[in-house]
Structures are given as C-alpha cells and as structure tokens.
Structure 1
C-alpha cells in the first residue's frame, strides 16, 4: 500500500455525498465526486472524439493495474481488469482442474460458477461443504479437505454473516493447494494479507465505491502458470495488436499470465474509475478506513444491544468488517424493517435478518437515525 498523509482520510471522506441513513455498502457503495468526475470527463472525451484524444484513454488500464498491484502486493504483470467479481470467478472456476472445496454458503456468483464449470467441462469437481454458522474457518476446512482437493475458495468477508475470514490461518491449512479469495465484501476496508492467496477477485461497486462494471483479478505466479484461460479472447493474445484479418485464419494462442484472462478489451472509463477509487483508498490508508468502519460498526452493535435486538454477526473486531446482521424474532421482522424504512435507513433484509453495512463516511446523523428506528421498533407492541 502506498504512503498516505495524516489528513488523507478526512479529505477522502469529504468526497462522498450519500444521503444520511444509507447503510447498504455491502450491496452498493455510492461513488464519490472524484470517481464521478473521472467518468464524466472521460465520457466527454469519448463523446467529442477530438483528433488524437481517444488513444490516450487506453492508458487507464495501465493505471489500474499499477493501483491494484500497490493495493494487493501482487506484481503488476499478474493483474488484469475484470468487469465484475462474477466474471473473475467464472474465469477461475472454468480454469481449474480436480477437486475444489466450496462452501454452499458462498455468494451465488461463486457457487454458480463452480456448478457451471463442473457441468460444462467436467474438469473440476466441487467439494461442497456446510461450515458451522456459515463461517469458513481453518478448522472447518481441516475437517473437509481431502488428498484429492486441488483448490479452496473463500470470501474474505461473508456477505450473509459478516464474518471476516482468517486468510493466514486458512493458508496454513490449505498447504500447497490453490487459495482463491472473493474479496468484494472487504476490499478497500480490510487490511488483509492478500498475497497469501493465489487468486484474488473483486468488483469495485461495493466498498471501493467505483461503480458497476469495475473489478480486477490478481494471480500469484503459480496460479498464472497453472490456471487454464478457457475464456480467453482475441484481446488476451499477444497478436491482439495486429490487424484482425492477419490472424483471422489462425486464432492466436492466449498470452501467458494474467493478461490471458480477458474476453475483450477493458472499458477504459471503468478502469479509470476503479483506478481513481484505489488511489483515494491508498491516500486515506486501508488501516485508517478500517478503524473508522470499526468504530461505526461498534456503535450499530451498541444500538442493537440497547433494545435487546440479537446481533448474529461477529462482535470481535478481528472477526468482522463493515457488516452488522440483526436477527429479530420471526414475528417481529416486519416491525423492524418498517421502523428502519420510516426513519429513512437503507438496509438489506433477507432470510429473516436485516443487514446493516457502514463505511468510513457513515455520518453521526445516520447512526442517530438507526437508534431512533430501533427505539420505535422496541416500543412497537408485539
């Protein structure tokens, strides 16, 4: 991670203008002014198509790869743009061979990619397992891994439970198997040891606040050599700089390394937006962002405790990131969601729980709105 100045976090927070009451960053992180300005200015360039102005746009991909390399610790040559976490996970699952350990509780983009790869190519076989409380821990993996298992998939932060995975502990259990990490629910707010993984995929629309259509895939040297680039398009070949007619009769082989995992040319506007977001994050410092998020999460947990509302997400700071999951009695779920709605609090309700997710920019007013909403909920007759 690049160095940051002491005032970086405050300056970065001032970039954001989300309305008070917004607590759904685990679904979408509203972009800040710098990202919106970047997209707007580059859209103007594309719209006018002035002489000589289009070609420089393609440098945005180089800028993105450098920003991801700085943020993850992976080499720039092992980083490639992806339009989403799902896209990176499809590349990954279809490129694996052998048995792959996958929790059934992983986000559907992972479980679906695993199922599709197994059904279509039969080169990989999912080793499905159901960890206790939905938490993929080193102990849970120790109980399910087999000698035939070649890879393990885990989310750095579980989207339902808010659990922050122990990547270093998991790495020890995984041994020489490939470790694949879905980073989208933690990247930008969790100071994780990314390089213990072999493959890291993430979208930029959540905690990085770069907007939809942004993401990346980072690979270790070993993963870059062993993962098969099944979906590797013309732009992922060394010959992509040639005229299409020159290779039409002899489709080029994929290049080596991360660059093979492209199906088409990266969107330069999306690449620039994600690069801008990563540069802002680097300026603030992930550790500083994480500390601010932790403070707000603690306040949300305290507010729930004050009214006796069960918190089923982790309480320990070492096991959580920005997600708080509330579990009211089944017959009280509607009362809770109505109270939040009436106070203008944006959250996600699913499976009998309510998920609140706070960022460093979450305001004191937002936290007060939650307290007021929970107070009304507690005062509602059962």
Structure 2
C-alpha cells in the first residue's frame, strides 16, 4: 500500500461526513468513482419512496385534493425556504420552479427594470465572458427585449467596466469549466456602488460552499438543483429576489401563479407580494417533490454548508496532490486555482487528448466529464465521496494517461 493510500484511509476514518454516504444510492462505488456530481448528483435513498407516495397516494388517491391537502400549491415557496439557508438567505426570498435558463431570463430582465433601463440612461448589460453558453444566449434575448446592449467582460474586469450606463451584471459564482470561484462579495459591492443590479448564477456553488446572498447584498440570483443539491435530472431551478427588491420586481413572465389572486381569473394582472411574484405557471410537482425529499439530507445534525466546504477543500487538495504524485510531469495542467478562496468544488485538468482520456477513464470506472477543447473536469460532492475514492481516481487517471 502506498503512502497516499494509507493517508486516504486515515482521512476517511476521521471524516465527520462519512456516515452521510449511506444516504445515497452508491452500490457501484466499490468498483467505480463518481466525480460528476457537478453535472448530476447521486440519488438520495429516500427519493424513490417519496416519489412513489406522490404518484400512488397524492396523485392516485387524493388527486386534485393534493393541491391543498398535500401542500402542492405552496411547494415552490416551501422548498425555496429549505434552499435559502444553503445559500445564505432568509426565508421568503426564494421561489422554486422552471429551469435555470427561464429564471436567468426573469432575473436579468427584472434587473434591467429595477435599474431604470434605457429610459434612465442605463442601457448596457455586462455578462461574464466565460459564462455557460445559455446565460449568454439569454442575456442577448433580455437585451433585445429591454433595448439594451450586451458586453462580455472577464469577472475580474467588472469593476473597471462598470459605469453610468450599466443596468445589470450577470456573473457565475463558480466557473463551470475551470472551477474558479469568483469574488461574490467584492464584485457585488462594486456593482451596487455603480448603481447597477447584480444577478448571480449559483449552479456550481449552491450545496458545495457558503454563498452569503443576504450578507453580501446580492440583488438577484438563480441556480439549479440537480448538481450539488442532488435533486435529480432536470429538477426545478430557483430564483432569489432580495426582500428589498420584491415590491418593485417586475417579472417578464407574469403567469397566473404569480397573480395576487390566481383563482380570481381576472384579465388584468396584479403581481403577488414577495418572492411568489417569481412564479409563472403550474408547478412541476413530481420533480419538485422529489427535490424536496432530496434536500432532507441537509436536516441531518452532522451536515452543514461549512462542514461540506471544509471537506470539499480537503478532497480537492488531496486529489491534486495525488495527481501530482502519480501522473507523469507535464502530462496534465491543473487549471483550477490552488488558493482555497478561488476554488469551487471541482478540479479541471488540461491535456491535449482530454476527450479520448475521459472516454477511457469512464470505461475504467472513473466518471468525470470533458469540456471542449481540452479540459478533464472532476466534481467533488463531499456528502458521498471519500478520500479513498479520490486516491483511486488519481491512480486510474495516471494509468490511462500512460
């Protein structure tokens, strides 16, 4: 047994989150290592039973009565209040529903309107130049709708790019490709000082590290729930509207679910109070209640965002150490920053034949993913990954790199 294998055993023995692994369906992990939780989280063991109850009893027996008796109608706000402490928000500011893309659109158009838009001279939207493509596509559509232009800038260039024309700024908390963690507190403060409105995409940070939406004065935020929150494929996203903005938040998608009197069936629209005005149409109950079941892991006394973050940093540190020890020098380049304050919960490695390497890794039981043109991406979900998994993954990587 190598020194690193022995250290992995010792680290696993001291891991305060080790018992949480049993809350997930991971039967194959005796022979495989799942490092793609930043794309799709593992299945929590309680979700199948919860979904069966929704289908057989709530839908099959109670039928339409479940909108009231089973709490279907209030699920978007109720589940939003469960997510809120995971991203540092007080209750009443998050509503769950729709996709991340739809929520980015709501948030970005709403942000331009909160800033006053072109009528006030604010006719420019700044967008993270390295953003996930959909965010850029949505920003372009939001700009066309609001009469704004879009300018792509690197996150660290945002303070210098801000000006009196800036209406809104859309940024990713963690870069999806490199795993770089951006300075949410500092950038939010700069955006606020410039009189613009901040919109943060939390897809790669929620459930992996502290966010601090309220503490840092974030205006609007969106995020998905199928990555580190383990809500399931295509599980609904969420929208955060800071309480101070709720009365003025003007969603571009005013559906009947966000009406002050949704069953009044009035032809004139009147927005509901609070975060509810971020709702649109009928909630997707099956996936939403699967998400609610998945989030129960966060109610365990041994699980907290701080504990998850501490283990995330330890896992990613150890992975980089193992890669450095096992992989021939110069074969890969670590793209993810080494500094803890600049790292999310993934490690990205650059190599020229990354696509072929990832195919071989998956065949060998180490599941990560590939991002064109040359990035191997490995996500670390501390709730169910151990240090022996990490050491084994690095060892297999070295073998497949030849």
TM-score by length of 1: 0.86
Q: Is the Cα–Cα contact under 8 Å of residues 343 and 369 in structure 1 kept in the other structure?
A: no
Give the one of 376, 380, 392 matched to 1:358: 380
Task: Give, in whole Å, the separation in 2 of the partners of 1:338 and 1:205.
Answer: 23
Give CA-to-partner distance per residue, 1:288-308, whole Å, 9 cap, x none. Answer: 111222222112211221213
Match of 1:32 among 44, 54, 57: 44
Say if 2:124 is the partner of 1:109. no
> Which residue pairs with 2:213 in the alignment?
194
Distance 1:43 1:73, change over 3 A: same
What is the 5 A alignment of 1:46-125? Answer: 46-50=58-62, 52-53=65-66, 55-57=68-70, 58=72, 59-95=74-110, 96=112, 97=117, 98-119=123-144, 121-125=145-149
DSSP 3-state at the match of 2:89: coil
Shift in Å, 1:203: 1.1
Match of 2:21 among 13, 22, 27: 13
8 Å Cα contact 2:335-2:348 kept in structure 1: yes
Distance in 1, matches of 2:49 and 2:314, equals: 30
Quick one: distance in 2 between partners of 1:64 and 1:268? 12
Query: Structure 1, residues 88-116: CA drift from partner, whole Å, max 9, x if none?
Result: 10111232233221022111221111111
User: Measured at CA, do residues 320 and 239 of structure 1 come closer, stay the same or move farther in structure 2, by a change above 3 Å?
Assistant: same
Aligned to 1:146: 163
- Residue in 2 that maps onto 1:44: 56
Residues 370 and 10 from structure 1, CA distance in 2 versus in 1: closer, same or farther, beyond 3 angstroms?
Answer: closer
- 1:276 CA displacement: 3.4
Matched-pair contact (CA < 8 Å) for 1:45–1:53:
no
Q: Distance in 2 between matches of 1:126 and 1:210?
A: 32
Provide the C-alpha distance between the structure 2 equivalents of 1:55 and 1:358, rounded to a whole number of angstroms. Answer: 39
Given the superposition, is the C-alpha separation of residues 334 and 164 from structure 1 closer, same or farther in structure 2, using an over 3 Å criterion? closer
Give the superposition deviation at 1:180: 1.0
Contact 2:76–2:97 (Cα < 8 Å) also in 1: no
Does residue 326 (structure 1) correspond to residue 326 (structure 2)? The answer is no
Deviation per CA, 1:212-271, whole angstroms, max 9, x where unpaired? 2322111113432443211011111012133x4xx2xx2332224322222212233333
8 Å contact from structure 1 (residues 83, 214) kept in 2: yes
CA distance in 1, matches of 2:283, 2:66: 18
Going from structure 1 to structure 2, the CA distance change for 1:289 and 1:206 (only over 3 Å counts) comes to same
Distance in 1 separating the partners of 2:250 and 2:220 = 13
Q: Structure 1 residues 279, 47: CA separation in 2 closer, same or farther (over 3 Å shift)?
A: closer
Aligned in 2, Cα 1:35/1:356: closer, same or farther, shift over 3 Å?
same
Query: How far off its partner does 1:41 sit?
Result: 1.8
TM-score relative to the length of structure 2: 0.82
Quote the residue 1:337 is aligned against. 358
* Pairwise CA distance, 1:333: 3.1
Flag the 1:316–1:103 CA change in 2: closer, same or farther, 3 A: same
C-alpha distance in structure 2 between counterparts of 1:268 and 1:349, whole Å:
32
In structure 2, how many angstroms separate the alpha carbons of the residues matched to 1:73 and 1:366?
30
Q: CA deviation at 1:312?
A: 0.8
1:8/1:285 contact within 8 Å kept: no
The worse-fitting range, judged by mean Cα deviation, of 67-76 and 299-308 is 67-76
In the alignment, what sits opposite 1:228? 250
What displacement does 1:49 show? 2.4
Q: Cα distance 1:180–1:282, how it changes in 2: closer, same or farther (>3 A)?
A: farther
What displacement does 1:74 show? 3.3
State the distance in 1 between where 2:18 and 2:54 align.
26
Give 1:122 deviation, angstroms: 3.5
Structure 2 unpaired stretches of 5+: 1-14, 118-122
1:165 aligns with 2:182: yes
Matched, 1:278 2:302: no
Q: Which moved more, 1:150-159 or 1:30-39?
A: 30-39
Q: 1:199 to 1:36 in 2, by over 3 A?
A: farther
For 2:314 and 2:208, locate their aligned partners in 1 and report how far apart those are by CA, in whole Å: 13
Structure 2 residue aligned with 1:317, among 319, 340, 344?
A: 340
How many residues of Structure 1 are paired with residues of Structure 2 in the alignment? 358
Residue 206 of structure 1 is aligned with which of 219, 227, 252? Answer: 227
**Secondary structure in structure 2 of the residue aligned to 1:49:** helix
